[in-house]
A and B are shown apart, each in its own frame.
Chain A
Amino acid sequence: MYQLQLGQIGLFVLVGFALPALGMVLLAWGLQLFLGYHRPSQTKNQPYECGMKPMQAAHVQFDIRYYLYALLFILFDIEIVFIVPWILATDEISQSVGWKWLGPVEMLVFLVILAVGLAYAWKKGALKWE
């Protein structure tokens, strides 16, 4: 019934789903602005900290200890982006050469390089939570 092009589908998805989802949220929010009551006070708007006054500001420079994990994660995420075309083409690659193990062996080489990287990071202590 519908023979739309890929770009049109993307546009449809964005316009069709993003706007209604946004609309739904805004509708609920507007309903609450209308129905709920608003009497802000000094004590009520204070950020919660177990009942006492907040000790310091929460917008501080926070030491994110897992940045090494995050760097490794980028590496592995890109690896997955490379795997996805491989899964679709692996049989064709193997057939074009006539050796049925070519596709898996390629993946073996690719993953071994990654695994060596992970093992190195592990050994150097990048995967240690302090």
Chain B
Amino acid sequence: MGNASEIFKFTRLSIIWLCLIFIPVWLVAYAVGIFIPYFLIKDQQNIFFDVFQALVPIIAVLVFIPINAMFMVLFERRGLALFTVRSGPNRVGVDGLLQTAADAVKLLFKEDITPRGADIAMFTLAPITFFAPSVFAAIPLLAAVTNDHPLFHIVNLPTGIFYVLAASSVPVVGIVMGGWASNNKYSLVGGLRSAAQAISYEIPLVLSLVSMCMMAKSLDVVQIANQQAGGILDWNIFGGGALRGIDKFIALNLVGNTIDAKTILDAAYPSGILSYIAAGVLIVCSVIMFLLYLTGACAEINRIPFDLPEAESELVSGYNTEYSGIKFAIFFLAEFTNLFIVSSIAVVMFMGGGGNPIPAWLLDPWWPSFASSVGPMFDLVTAKGLMLVDEHTFFPALWVIAKTYAFVFFAVLIRGTLPRFRIDQLMDFGWKRLIPLSLIVFLVMAFARVLVNVHLVMPAGGAP
């Protein structure tokens, strides 16, 4: 990559967007969740008081998804342009920020063609079947993203990750429907290929997430995200808490409390040297599981190198060959939303959710009482008294978005780098390599976990 100014523009665009994306979502959440109930209705016994507050997650998601997908399309196009040393779309709006909006308006004015002989009902329902699950799947994630904010508490399901997995495997049905209903051979082959790769890569994907649930002993995404709070050593990608004892050992040593530090090491690694070996094994296994998740997720949402359902060079455009106008736009929107959701699952399950990567024992001396120094600032400029914006929600949300975009960037990088699989290679790789590997790694983790105390609680009074 030789073009420094393009890299600078790309970074600037991303940072501008990170700041901008919160504003509409906040405004809407504030209007529906705070302004209308507290200032217009006032009466807390009124049924509409609760109804408006319960509407906040719905409105927030429905505002967030189109705006976010709009940026992701631009992000992908600019990213690919970066990797192929060209400029990418940079004319509409500042640095091309409004390019996708312009494209969406253009698609609205296009003719909506239904091919002759198509199954009209299925042809119309397919984009909806493809899009709706991506909205569903966002539900429990919302609670994790906002760090269990009271307004979003309603969507925190106790079996969150199970629900997310169930919802995120439905879009394949939409693809098969669209492929079959189009009355086009390319679409049919594309739809059926999509089903083939969904059944091959679902198992490694689910097993990798389930192994992380095993380490956390919970299916609740908020709980899993909160367990990883406290820096990069607590993240699930590094052994699902296998390093938690060492993290706390360092923290106590820095305070000067060497007696508690020794007990905490004994509590975390009860079987001596065997436990340390087990912790090392857990770290290796978690990284393997993380890579399995990335592979499975790429296949699940039909990204390159697994984009066989819409392989342009063989199947024209695969399952959406016959789609035009707004139906095509919905397919496109859902595709990018799925990418975002898959990335945010990776963030919540492996990358510490809303936690910052700097370990607490490093951050605290560097910026003492971080939260309490920022809190009063928030009191001044926002509605903290009304519990809409506070530092317990703001920073986690910012971190989740930033980390998620790191994954999206990774997906774009892969798209710019790797060629496409052949279908028999794809099936062989899934069934003969990934599934046995994921089963073995899962079993090894189940055994190694017994030797390490991954749910370590600090001794009373000794916590920094």
A-B contacts, CB under 8 A, total: 194
Task: Check if B326 sits within 8 Å of A13, measured CB to CB.
Answer: no
Q: Is B202 an interface residue (CB 8 A)?
A: yes
Q: Once the chains bind, are A58 and B185 in contact (CB under 8 Å)?
A: yes
Q: How far is the CA of A64 from the CA of B423 in the complex (A)?
A: 13
- Whether the pair A44, B113 counts as a contact (CB closer than 8 A) is yes
Q: Which of B53, B110, B431, B442 contacts A127 (CB 8 A)?
A: B431
The answer to whether B186 and A28 touch across the interface, beta carbons within 8 angstroms, is: no
CB of A49 within 8 A of CB of B184, answer yes
The verdict on A97 contacting chain B, using a C-beta distance below 8 Å, is no
Closest A residue to B200 by beta carbon equals A69
B contact patch SS: helix
A57–B326 touching, CB < 8 Å = no
B180 CB contacts on chain A under 8 angstroms:
59
Instruction: Give the contacts of B392-427 with A (CB-CB under 8 A).
Output: 423-424, 427
B326 touches A31 (CB 8 A): yes
CA distance A37 to B110 in the complex (A): 7
Distance A107 CA – B136 CA, assembled complex (angstroms): 32
Segment 321-345 of B: residues with Cβ below 8 Å from A: 321-322, 325-327, 329-330
* Most chain B Cβ neighbours within 10 Å, of A59, A64, A73, A87: A87
When chains A and B are docked, how far (Å) is the Cα of A37 from the Cα of B324?
A: 12
B316 near A48: Cβ-Cβ < 8 Å:
yes
**A88 neighbours in B (Cβ, 8 Å):** 217-219
Q: Which residues from A are CB-within-8-Å of B186?
A: 48-49
Q: Which residues of A contact B322 (CB under 8 A)?
A: 47-48
Would you give the 0/1 interface string for A5-32, flagging 1 where the beta carbon is closer than 8 Å to chain B?
A: 0100100110011101110110011011
Interface check B128, CB cutoff 8 A = yes
Cβ contact of B427, chosen from A2, A31, A129, cutoff 8 A: A129
A122 close to B432 (CB less than 8 A)? yes
Give every chain A residue within 8 A of B61 (Cβ-Cβ): 17
A73–B115 CB distance below 8 A? no
Least Cβ–Cβ distance between B18 and chain A, in angstroms:
24
A40 to B120, CA, bound (A): 15
Residues of B111-130 contacting chain A, CB below 8 A: 111-118, 127-128
Interface assignment of B154: CB less than 8 Å from any CB of chain A: yes
**Nearest-CB distance from A95 to chain B (Å)?**
11
Interface residues of B in 176-205 (CB under 8 A from A): 180, 182-188, 192, 196, 199-200, 202-203
* Interface size bracket, B side: 35 or more
Q: Which residues of A contact B428 (CB under 8 A)?
A: 127, 129
Within 8 A of B (CB), among A28-73: 28-29, 31-33, 35-40, 42, 44-50, 54, 57-59, 62, 64, 66, 69-70, 72-73
Chain B interface residues (CB < 8 Å from chain A)? 53-55, 57-58, 61-62, 66, 107-118, 127-128, 131-132, 135-136, 139, 150-151, 153-155, 157-158, 162, 180, 182-188, 192, 196, 199-200, 202-203, 206-207, 210, 213-214, 217-219, 316, 321-322, 325-327, 329-330, 423-424, 427-428, 431-432, 435-436, 439, 442-443, 446-447, 449-450
Can you identify 12 A-B contacts, CB atoms within 8 angstroms? A20-B135, A21-B136, A33-B112, A36-B325, A42-B116, A45-B113, A48-B321, A54-B184, A66-B427, A73-B199, A108-B446, A118-B436
Q: Other CB < 8 Å A-B pairs besides A58-B185, A80-B203, 14 of them?
A: A9-B154, A17-B139, A22-B128, A47-B184, A54-B185, A66-B427, A69-B200, A73-B203, A90-B446, A104-B449, A111-B439, A115-B436, A115-B439, A118-B435
